[in-house]
Amino acid sequence: MYIDPLVAQKEAEKRALDKTDQEIIEKAMHDGVETAWDRLAKQQPQCGFGQLGICCNRCTMGPCRIDPFGDGPKRGVCGATADLIVARNLLDDLAVGAAAHSDHGREVLEVLLDTAEGKSQGYQIIDEEKLGTIAAEYDIGTEGKSKEEIAREVALAMLEEFGTIKNRIQFADRAPEKTGEMWKGAGITPRSVDREIVESMHRIHMGVGADYANILLHGLRTSLSDGWGGSMMATDASDILFGTPTPNSSWVNLGVLSKDEVNVVLHGHNPVLSEMIVKAANDPELKKLAEEKGAKGINLVGMCCTGNELLMRHGIPIAGNMLDQELAIATGAVEVMVIDYQCIFPSITATASCYHTKVVATSEKSKVSGAIYKEFRPETALDSSKEIIRMAIENFPNRNPDRVKIPDKPIKMMAGFSEEAIRNALGGSYKPLIDAIVSGKIKGAVGVVGCNNPKIKHDYGHVMLGKELIKRNILVVETGCAAIASGKAGLLLPEAADMAGEGLKSVCKALGIPPVLHMGSCVDCSRILMLGANIAKELGVGIEDLPLGGAAPEWYSQKAVSIASYFVASGVYTVLGIPPKIFGSPNVVDLLTNKLDGVVHATFAVEPDPVKAADLLEAAIEKKRKALGI
Ligand code: BF8
C-alpha cells in the first residue's frame, strides 16, 4: 500500500522519540509491515471496563462487569464488588510478573547446579568471590572444597528457596534490620518464592479472599519474594556463572546492525542462552564460514533484557528495547533473531516473514508458531548455539540489499554499573555518596525502570523524566528498557553530566561517571534494592528512610507491576507513567496511593507527565531528607 512519505514521517515522529527509530518506523510503513503501533490503533477504543479493572472473567458464572457510574450492577454474579474485582485482577498481574522473573531465576540456578556437577557444556564458575559471599550467607563451609563443590551446595540451597518450608527467604535478610522489622510488622515477610505465587493464585479463586486490602497486602509479600527472592537469585546466579558486571563502554540503537556482517539479534531475558551464543560466534570455523558466504564477520547484538545482560558483562552492542524488536527486523538486515522468553511479540514471526529473517525459539515453555525450534539444554548448549550461528550464516546470502536500511549513527554508552561496581567506584564504601547526599550536592536517587508501551511515544517518558531528575541533582539508576532508552538519548555517557544540576555534575565529573547509571536487566532491579540496602545499612537506617524514589514511565508488563510493588514494599515511593487498571475502585486507589504509607512508609502515584512526575519524586525525596534531618 502506498503511503505518502510526509504522512509516514509525521506518523513516525509521533510514535518515537529517537531519530533512528523514526527512520525504521517509516521504512516499516512503506514496506507494509504491521507494528505494535498499528495494532494499538486497530484496538481503539479499548474496553473501558478493562481499563478500570472492573471486569471479571475468572469463572463461568461470569464474565461479569461492574457499572462504575450508573445504576448498573455493582456486584458480579458471585457477589464480588468493584474493590474485590480490581484487587484480584491486580494480584493476578503481579503474581504473573513475579512468576516470570522467578522462573527465569530458577533456570539460571539449574544451569549453575549442572555446571557444578559437570553436566553442562561451555559454562564455568566465574565469580568465585560472589560464590563465597553467598555460601557464607547460607552457612555453607568452604574450607577444603573446590569451587564446584561450593557451587553445588549454593545452587541447591538457592533452589530450595522456591519451596522452602523455613518460612523465610534467605536474601530478605540482606535488607536492613529496620526494613525487615517493617515487613514483619505488616505481615509481609516473604516465605518462599513458589508459595507466595501459588497462594496468590489461591487467593484470587472465587470464594477465597473477599477483603481487597488483605489481597493487596499479600501482593506486596509476593512482590518481595520476587525482588528479594527470584529476581535477586537470577542476578546473583548469573553473576557467579558469567561474572559480576564492571563499567564498560558500548553502542546502542538500530545502527549497531551491520551492512556487511551476519546479524544475529539476541532477544529475550535469560543470559544462559545468549552467553553461549557469544561463545559460539567466536568459533574460528564459523567465522571462516561467514567469510565464505560473503560476510565480513558475525555481528551479535542484543535486544531487551538479554541484550542488557550481554551489554553489562561484555559490552555487546544493543539494538534497542521492547518496541524495537519489529523495527530491527524491518531494517531487512537481520539473519536470525534468537528468542528465549518474555516480551517477545507473538507476531514476531509474521514480521520476520516479510523479510529473510529466521526466528529461532529456544525455550520449551516459549514456543512460537512460525519459528524454528531449537531446544536449548545446558548439556548441549554450545553445540546448539553453534548450530544457530551456522543457520544465520547460511541465511546471509538470502538478504536482499535493496530492502536493507540501517541507520548510520549508533550512540556510545556506558554500562556495567552493578551494585558492587558502584561501591568500588566510590572506593569500597558508600561514604562519599552519603556525604554528597548529606551536603545536598545530590538530593537523592531514583530508579527509573520498566518497559515501552505504544500508548506513550517510544522512549519519551524515560528520557524526559531522566533529564528532569538529573537537572534537579537527583542521581538516576536504571534497568531494563528504560536504560536502553537513556542510552539512545546519550544520557549514559559521562558527558551527559553537563545536563545535570551543578551538584550532581560535580560528583559525576569527579568520578568520571554518567548521571544516569545502567544497572542491568529487569531482574537486576534487585541490584537497585541492594544499593538501597547497603546505603541504609551504612547509615544505620531502613531503606524506607532514604531519599529514594522509583518510576516506571512507560511500563506495560506484569513484571513491572511486581517490580513497582517490591519497590513500594521496600519503602520506596514509586510513580507510574501508565495508569494501572485500578481506577474502577476508589478504595483500592486510596489504599495504594495513600494508606500504604502507614504500612511501608511509601506509596504508588500515577503521573504520565514526566515533569510532573519529577515534581512528585523530588517532593518525596525532600520529605525523606527532612525526616533524616538533612
Ligand atoms: O524485563 S523492561 S518490556 S524487556 S518487562 Fe520487557 Fe519491560 Fe523491557 Fe525486560 Ni522488563
For 300, phi then psi, to 5°, come to -90, 130
Alpha-carbon span 528 to 445, nearest angstrom? 10
- What's the pLDDT tens digit per position in 211-248? 999 999 999 999 999 999 999 999 999 999 999 999 99
Determine how many CB atoms are found less than 10 A away from the CB of residue 374: 14
**Set of cell numbers at residue 98:** 513475579
Q: Are 109 and 220 contained in the same domain?
A: yes
Query: Does the pLDDT at position 1 exceed 90?
Result: no
Any domain includes 163: yes
Nearest to 493 by CA among 304, 248, 317: 248
Instruction: Give the chain's mean pLDDT.
Output: 97
**Residue 400: what pLDDT?**
98
- What's the pLDDT tens digit per position in 147-192? 999 999 999 999 999 999 999 999 999 999 999 999 999 999 999 9
Q: Are 447 and 377 contained in the same domain?
A: no
Alpha-carbon span 238 to 526, nearest angstrom? 12
- Given 219, 242, 265, the domain boundary residue is 242
Strands of 236-381, DSSP E: 248-252, 262-267, 298-303, 318-320, 336-339, 358-361, 372-373
Q: Are 394 and 531 contained in the same domain?
A: no
Any domain includes 147: yes
Alpha-carbon span 191 to 262, nearest angstrom? 47
Pairing of β 411-415 and β 248-252: antiparallel
Which numbered atom of ligand 1 lies nearest the CA of 523? Answer: 1
Any domain includes 37: no
Q: Are 159 and 268 contained in the same domain?
A: no
Alpha-carbon span 39 to 46, nearest angstrom? 11
Q: Are 215 and 263 contained in the same domain?
A: no
Any domain includes 117: yes
Alpha-carbon span 488 to 24, nearest angstrom? 15
Query: Does the pLDDT at position 2 exceed 90?
Result: no
Any domain includes 275: yes
Any domain includes 70: no
- Given 217, 242, 267, the domain boundary residue is 242
Q: Which residues pair with 361 in a beta bridge?
A: 339, 373
Q: Are 279 and 175 contained in the same domain?
A: no
Pairing of β 516-518 and β 474-478: parallel
Q: Are 339 and 472 contained in the same domain?
A: no
Q: Are 595 and 512 contained in the same domain?
A: yes
Query: Would you place residue 359 in the very low, low, confident or very high pLDDT band (cuts 50, 70, 90)?
Result: very high
Alpha-carbon span 605 to 596, nearest angstrom? 11
Ligand 1: centre distance to CA 254 (Å): 18
Ligand 1: residues with CB < 6 A are: 269, 304-305, 321-322, 343, 450-451, 480-481, 521-522, 557, 559-560
Pairing of β 336-339 and β 262-267: parallel
Query: Would you place residue 38 in the very low, low, confident or very high pLDDT band (cuts 50, 70, 90)?
Result: very high
Q: Are 453 and 601 contained in the same domain?
A: yes
- What's the pLDDT tens digit per position in 457-515? 999 999 999 999 999 999 999 999 999 999 999 999 999 999 999 999 999 999 999 99
Q: Can you give the CATH number for the domain in which 130 is found?
A: 1.20.1270.30
- Range of the structural domain that residue 175 is part of: 82-242
Ligand 1: centre distance to CA 522 (Å): 6
- Given 370, 403, 436, the domain boundary residue is 403
Ligand 1: centre distance to CA 306 (Å): 10
Which numbered atom of ligand 1 lies nearest the CA of 563? Answer: 10
Q: Can you give the CATH number for the domain in which 519 is found?
A: 3.40.50.2030
Q: Are 214 and 310 contained in the same domain?
A: no
Q: Are 367 and 287 contained in the same domain?
A: yes
Any domain includes 410: no
Q: How many structural domains does the chain have?
A: 3
Any domain includes 39: no
Q: Are 442 and 570 contained in the same domain?
A: yes
